[in-house]
Amino acid sequence: MSDWTVPADRPDYDDAVEAALAKLDLETKADLLAGMDMWRTVAAPEAGLRSMTVSDGPIGVRGRFWTAADPSLALPSPTAQAASWDPVLVRRIGNLLASESRRKDVDVLLAPTINLHRSPLGGRHFEAFSEDPYLTGRIAEAYVAGVQERGVGTTMKHYVANDAETDRFTVDNVIGERALRELYLRPFEMVTAAVNPWGVMTAYNTVNGTTMTAHRELMDVLREEFGFDGFNVSDWGAARHTVEDVEAGLDLAMPGPLTVFGKHLVDAVREGRTTEAAVDANVRRILKLAARVGALEGVEAAVAGRQDAIDDPDGLLREIARRSFVLAKNAAPTGKDGTDAAPILPLHADAIHRLALIGPAAKEARILGGGSATVFPPHVVSPLDGLRAALGDRVHYAQGVDLFEQILPAKRGFDLTVRPVRNDGTEPPAEPLASGDVKWMGYLPGEVDPDDFHHAVLDGVYTVTTTGEHVFGTRGNGHHKVLIDGDTRFEGDHVFTGDDPFEAFFGPGVERFRIHLTAGQQVRVRHEYTPFEFPPGFPPSVLFGLMHTEPRPDEDTLIEEAVAAARDADIAVVVVSTTELTESEGFDRRDLRLPGRQDELVAAVAAANPNTVVVVNTGSPVEMPWADDVAGILLTWFPGQEGGSALAEVLLGAEPGGRLTTTWPKTLADAPVTRVVPTDEGELHYDEGVFIGYRAWQHRGTTEPAFWFGHGLSYTDWEYETLTVDGAEAKVTVRNTGTRTGREVVQLYLSPDPAADVPGGIEPTRLAGFAAIEAAPGETVEVAIPLEERSFQYWDEATHAWTAVGGVWTAKAGRNVNDLRLEAALKA
């Protein structure tokens, strides 16, 4: 178990909670279990309770407003954070997020996401930490500790098994008891035991026939077995049952106020379908949360006073990114012979006369996945920005391909504002937009009364960037009218009938008209939008978008230009990426291919210049058919707003510190688990049991992945010297045998006795511990890794209990799950 110091409850909390509860009538208590709006809870001044604010999320603290007018720091994605394999660093991430929360008056952060990378097709893969429950738990412990030690609450999410997005509101995930315990519940158990999180979020999905907000059995596991004593909030719009949800321990149905609680709950009590005592139990947990975050009068918050801001947040964001980058391949360029041929990385700035930087994502940085994790950073450093800052005019850019195959929110060349219009035609001042996306979630600007809202107007000037045929479109349920220079070019309705209220917005837009425009021309754009109704079950929200695509360049010409740039350069760096229409909340991926003609681009550049490095700017695995043809591959995930600066530093010599948190297949067909689409009956069967990720690859043993779990190269060399096991601790010594100071992640795995008899089988190897170290050339470092009892157990479905796997186990230490260099036998 990890040793974290976490805020303790003050001794007067219980008395304060009971005193506040006694001042509340049934109607007020029922109201407290529903949100006041999209992001705030209901206040009860008579009990000294103020409203509390919650906010997404895992990548940055957006706050109440989904707008570029209220910017937020954009961190590397959670998969990137976990790729550091460094709980100490992740704790600092938590501190930074808490500081951002305080700045935005946020009491509770809706994070971390501790679902697993069950399939590489999962749409929110980038938002979760790992395929391994132990690594997920360790990273999440540090994240929660870092946030809560600064007085801001966290919510572990999504409880439980929200591992895919397809039909997430209705899918019934059918999971065996053993897999549920060993894999999907394990991170929640670890975090609860280690750091006492103040909240949990129950998922949209059903598990084994019961919706999670009403799943009393699994909530009892969390509370009674694991010891969780925090509050339970629904995912947004997930609560569907008044009596079942309140009696299962759902404390807060969000968003409000129109939920299954409130008046519905009062009626249920008065009609005898549930009891006021059941309501009181849930209200106590809301009041306890309020005491912890300082929202209840008469008691001191768990962490008193406002915390100091984090010094140099941009510097910390660069450090996080550097430590997350995974050097997947680093070979001598093709055509270089001899044993002394040096790997292509790091690059030596003094030796570079011309560097070709290629790819649309090199210029338009891809720093986020799509969906509720979206934030609006104050600035973004692209790879082109970062490398030009380091190398100046020696960097030559070529676009290479047109990445976007679908229409996207209007952005480049657009200067836009948006405002609501009241029924009488009056309107508050407009607010600026970073793109054509409008997301008024739970509020209307200018304090416009929802009953007085008529429509929204998005308008501004488009300075045309490219001559040719431009495509305009819309997205969002409702009536749209788009005008160019005062002429109506489209007027009509968009109707979406799916189950997911956000899918109509997070999904692709719809083309509406085409118009020929000339570069340099300025046109006036106006988009009037009237929703049919506010999204049902949600507070008044307006979600719509003006979409646009520039004339598509001739891609053959773009590739030829990129090849010419590469041929004339000492080094070619190609940045490949996915898009928000590939990796996002609300839908799953259909394949693992890079969008567009990026694979063709890489192959052509590599053929022109053997000194080619590919930067893979994605949140989750992609196929790399060109992997054998390039000298270097660097995985940078979604690296946050400072990603371009961090990339330049790593390419030019800073140690790439990351290790894979999930196994990357060569092709989708090779992946052991790919099912994310439910059956016609609405069921998604987890038939693979405990064999996901590297467990499945090793258990199956028929194909090799592109890169194993834990993989990541260094700019120096390491020798693993000794491994000893003494009781509940393993000690590993490693030596830096290279010429540079470096960073290593020492990984410890356990393999059971081959004669072990476990019903359903047991994985050949399981992660049992790890330690991130740094060492100078020639330096030897010893690390001590504790061994937990749980590492030697499996969940017995016959006895419904953890059971030891006897016999002789083997401890193995090394650089990844398939590169284990030392072994030691031990008795369980």
* CA 820 from centroid of its chain's CA atoms: 30
Any idea which residue has 């999930």 for tokens? 662
Sheet order of strands, 478-484 included:
431-433, 414-422, 453-463, 522-530, 478-484, 487-494
H-helix or E-strand spanning residue 323: helix 313-324
pLDDT of residue 403: 84
H-helix or E-strand spanning residue 327: strand 326-330
H-helix or E-strand spanning residue 731: strand 729-736
Backbone CA torsion sign across 374, 380, 381, 383 = positive
Task: Provide the strand spans (E) within 501-570.
Answer: 510-517, 522-530, 542-549
Look up residue 273 and give its two tokens: 């379908």
Q: Outline which parts of the chain fall under CATH 2.60.40.10.
A: 716-827
H-helix or E-strand spanning residue 19: helix 13-22
CA separation for the pair 630, 634 (Å, rounded): 11
Which residues are CB-neighbours of 252 under 8 A, at least 6 positions away? 33, 34, 35, 41, 231, 232, 233, 234, 286
Which residues are CB-neighbours of 288 under 8 A, at least 6 positions away? 9, 13, 17, 229, 230, 231
CA separation for the pair 387, 390 (Å, rounded): 5
Q: In b/e form, how buried is each residue of 518-539, taking b as 16+ CB within 10 angstroms?
A: eeeeebebbbbbbbeebbebbb
CA separation for the pair 258, 115 (Å, rounded): 28
Backbone CA torsion sign across 643, 645, 650, 656 = negative
- Listed residue (327, 315, 313, 312) closest to 655, CA to CA: 327
pLDDT of residue 340: 59
CA angle 223, 224, 228 (to 5 degrees): 30
Give me the torsion for CA of 227, 231, 235, 241, rounded to 10°: 90
CA separation for the pair 445, 70 (Å, rounded): 12
**Could you read off the pLDDT of 462-517 as tens digits, one per residue?**
999 999 999 999 998 899 999 999 999 999 998 876 666 666 556 668 999 999 99
Please give the CATH architecture assigned to the domain spanning 716-827.
Sandwich (2.60)
SS3 content of the chain, % helix, strand, coil (to 5): 25, 25, 45
CA separation for the pair 485, 526 (Å, rounded): 8
Q: Which residues of the chain are modeled with pLDDT < 50?
A: 1, 338
CA separation for the pair 377, 380 (Å, rounded): 7
| Distance in angstroms between the alpha carbons of the first and the last residue of the chain | 17
CATH class, domain 325-401+563-656, is alpha beta
Residue 21 CB-density burial (10 A; 0-12 exposed, 13-18 middle, 19+ buried)? middle
Asked whether the beta carbons of 804 and 828 are under 8 A apart, the reply is: yes
* Residue 308 to residues 57, 99, 134, 230, 274, Cα–Cα distance (Å): 21, 7, 32, 26, 46
Q: Outline which parts of the chain fall under CATH 2.60.120.380.
A: 408-549
- Listed residue (461, 458, 472, 467) closest to 549, CA to CA: 472
Please give the CATH architecture assigned to the domain spanning 47-254.
Alpha-Beta Barrel (3.20)
CA separation for the pair 790, 728 (Å, rounded): 11
pLDDT of residue 499: 64
Which residues are CB-neighbours of 3 under 8 A, at least 6 positions away? none
Please give the CATH architecture assigned to the domain spanning 408-549.
Sandwich (2.60)
Which residues are CB-neighbours of 106 under 8 A, at least 6 positions away? 53, 54, 55, 61, 63, 100, 152
What's 632's DSSP letter?
A: E
Q: Which residues pair with 780 in a beta bridge?
A: 735
Kindly give the pairing relationship between strand 780-786 and strand 231-234. unpaired
3-state helix/strand/coil string of 646-705 = HHHHHHCCCCCCCCCCCCECCCHHHCCCCCCCCCCCCEEECCCCCCCHHHHHHHHCCCCC
Q: Which residues pair with 487 in a beta bridge?
A: 484
What's 550's DSSP letter?
A: P
Residue 690 CB-density burial (10 A; 0-12 exposed, 13-18 middle, 19+ buried)? buried
Global pTM?
0.95
Which residues are CB-neighbours of 817 under 8 A, at least 6 positions away? 663, 694, 698, 708, 709, 710, 747, 749, 765, 767
Residue 75 CB-density burial (10 A; 0-12 exposed, 13-18 middle, 19+ buried)? buried
Look up residue 528 and give its two tokens: 């009037």
Instruction: Specify whether 31 is catalytic.
Output: no
**Could you read off the pLDDT of 258-291 as tens digits, one per residue?**
899 999 999 999 999 999 999 999 999 999 999 9
pLDDT of residue 2: 65
Any idea which residue has 């948006």 for tokens? 418
- Listed residue (780, 595, 769) closest to 135, CA to CA: 769
Which residues are CB-neighbours of 313 under 8 A, at least 6 positions away? 73, 96, 99
pLDDT of residue 827: 85
Q: Outline which parts of the chain fall under CATH 3.20.20.300.
A: 47-254
Asked whether the beta carbons of 163 and 119 are under 8 A apart, the reply is: yes
In angstroms, how far apart are the furthest CA atoms of the chain? 85
CA separation for the pair 309, 318 (Å, rounded): 17
Asked whether the beta carbons of 490 and 546 are under 8 A apart, the reply is: no
What's 507's DSSP letter?
A: S
Asked whether the beta carbons of 660 and 816 are under 8 A apart, the reply is: yes
Candidates 235, 500, 588, 670; catalytic one: 235
pLDDT of residue 729: 96
